[in-house]
Amino acid sequence: MENITSSPAVQLRGVFKRFDNVVAVEKMDLDISEGSLMTLLGPSGCGKTTILRMIAGLETPTEGDILIKGKRVNDTPIHKRNLGMIFQNYALFPHKTIFDNVAFGLKYRHVPKSDMKNKVFKALEMVRLPGVENRMPSQLSGGQQQRIALARAIVIEPDVLLMDEPLSALDENLREEMRREIDNLQRMLGVTTVFVTHDQREALSMSDKIVVMKDGLKQQEGGPEEVYNYPANHFVADFLGHSNFFNGEVVGLENKQVRVKANEGNEFIVESPGNWTVGARIELVIRAQKFKVFYKNQQPPEGSVNLLIGRIKDRSYMGGEVSYFVELETGTVIHAIDMAKLKPFRRGEDVGIQVAPRDCSLLSKTNGSA
Ligand SMILES: Nc1ncnc2c1ncn2[C@@H]1O[C@H](COP(=O)(O)OP(=O)(O)O)[C@@H](O)[C@H]1O
Ligand SMILES: [Mg+2]
């Protein structure tokens, strides 16, 4: 009777959430397919946690519907939704053993004792911490405690796993390790997951789909490569990666390539799939990582196209890469991040800069992008 494959595991339909006069979430539609990992990405205060809390049943939508496996759950209490949750402050029970922490959801669901033991041991193995069941949380490191929180969330075999900035309390190296851990575990279990973060690297590296949000509104939705390479508007281009922006207009159309003149004076050739017309006001977006920086007298990597001359104003060495601020002949300062050469360019040095037409993107200034 029931066609399981036809409904997404989680759906939001026209969901609004208002707190007094604050609109936390506006007109939100989401389809999260079974077994996938969707990330809600956006700055603090954009409504990410509120969405998770509504899926969990900790908040009720002011308007709209939430469906889990095709069934409307607006009025289903939290304990009747089979969800695993992990939050930033892992919140293990400090006076319970690891076993009792992991077993918590099973006890609550009246799972028989023998089953419980098997399930807890299996969950501890999955997070690669077998044998710690008799310890107390304080005897584990922060990273280990977060893995226990993960074990506690998956032990109940949830329909959906909800994670709210689970890595933000960890230091950089541990964060990278946990990111891979969560990614692998999610794929192995095939559990539908909604992951919340304000960190673009987390979002880009783990997600099947990313939903970029601002002020409660969805800005763009797509795979990591799609939102990174084809940002839908200025906000997305600015939030993901380091972007250079040039306001200007289309001055020519030449076999699939668009010639644009930036207000600051330079002209660029852009490969863009859009339907552009001469005279259209545009914003040109160039990622800092897409600019190549080379010696002024060196052969430019892309021939003569989009070739600029500039002087290094500032640079910071970051190991594998160098971040440069380069003043162009027009006076505009651009940001370029290039692979570190044996001898990175120094402040005051004259350099050639180039960007390939395929590495530029255009946003229309006439249909609402800021
Ligand atoms: N319980 C609440 N009462 C009033 N305002 C709230 C409440 N929860 C969240 N908000 C407001 O809703 C907006 C979205 O918050 P939140 O979902 O926590 O954002 P995020 O998780 O993206 O940082 C913010 O403006 C926040 O202040
Ligand atoms: Mg939050």
Atom of ligand 1 nearest to the CA of 51: 17
Q: Answer yes or no: pTM beyond 0.85.
A: yes
Query: Is the CB of 108 within 6 Å of ligand 1?
Result: no
Q: Region 32-60: what's the mean pLDDT?
A: 97
Residue whose CA lies nearest to ligand 1 atom number 2 = 19
Q: What would the pLDDT profile of 144-193 be if each residue is shown by its tens digit? A: 999 999 999 999 999 999 999 999 888 888 898 889 999 999 999 999 99
DSSP SS3 for 112? coil
Q: Which of 38-47, 80-89, 261-270, 312-321 has the lowest mean pLDDT?
A: 80-89
Residue whose CA lies nearest to ligand 1 atom number 7 = 19
Looking at the predicted structure, is the pLDDT value of residue 91 above 70?
Answer: yes
Please check whether the two domains, 4-235 and 242-364, share a CATH topology.
no
Q: Where are the domains of the chain?
A: 4-235, 242-364
Residue whose CA lies nearest to ligand 1 atom number 17 = 47
Cα within 13 Å of Cα(370), Cβ side? 6
Question: What's the CA-to-centroid distance between 71 and ligand 2, angstroms?
Answer: 26
pLDDT band with cut points at 50, 70 and 90 for residue 5? low
Q: Which of 16, 20, 22 has most ligand 1 atoms within 8 Å of CB, for mutation?
A: 22
Q: Which of 16, 17, 18, 19 has most ligand 1 atoms within 8 Å of CB, for mutation?
A: 19
Q: Which of 256-260, 266-270, 299-303, 349-353 has the lowest mean pLDDT?
A: 299-303
Residue whose CA lies nearest to ligand 1 atom number 24 = 45
Question: What's the CA-to-centroid distance between 37 and ligand 2, angstroms?
Answer: 18
pLDDT for residue 2: 45
- Could you tell me which CATH number the domain at 242-364 has? 2.40.50.140
Residue whose CA lies nearest to ligand 1 atom number 13 = 24
Looking at the predicted structure, is the pLDDT value of residue 63 above 90?
Answer: yes
Q: Following DSSP, what letter does each residue of 137-184 receive, concatenated?
A: GGGS-HHHHHHHHHHHHHTT--SEEEEESTTTTS-HHHHHHHHHHHHH
Query: Is the CB of 197 within 6 Å of ligand 1?
Result: no
Name 260's bridge partners: 250, 268
Looking at the predicted structure, is the pLDDT value of residue 28 above 80?
Answer: yes
pLDDT band with cut points at 50, 70 and 90 for residue 323? very high
pLDDT band with cut points at 50, 70 and 90 for residue 85? very high
pLDDT for residue 1: 44
List phi, psi (to 5°) of 123.
-65, -40
For 183-207, b where at least 16 C-beta lie within 10 A, e where not — what string? Answer: bebbeebebbbbbbbbebebbbebb
Looking at the predicted structure, is the pLDDT value of residue 90 above 90?
Answer: no
Pick the CATH number of 4-235 from 3.20.20.70, 3.40.640.10, 3.30.70.100, 3.40.50.300: 3.40.50.300
CA 208 to CA 224: how far, in whole Å? 7
Q: In what order do the strands lie in the sheet with 257-262?
A: 267-271, 257-262, 243-254, 281-287, 360-364
Question: What's the CA-to-centroid distance between 220 and ligand 2, angstroms?
Answer: 19
Cα angle, residue 205 at apex, residues 203 and 210 outer, rounded to 5°:
35
Tell me what percent of the residues of the chain surpass a pLDDT of 90.
82
CA 54 to CA 305: how far, in whole Å? 51
76's tokens: 């289903």
Query: Is the CB of 307 within 6 Å of ligand 1?
Result: no
pLDDT for residue 209: 98
CA 89 to CA 76: how far, in whole Å? 26
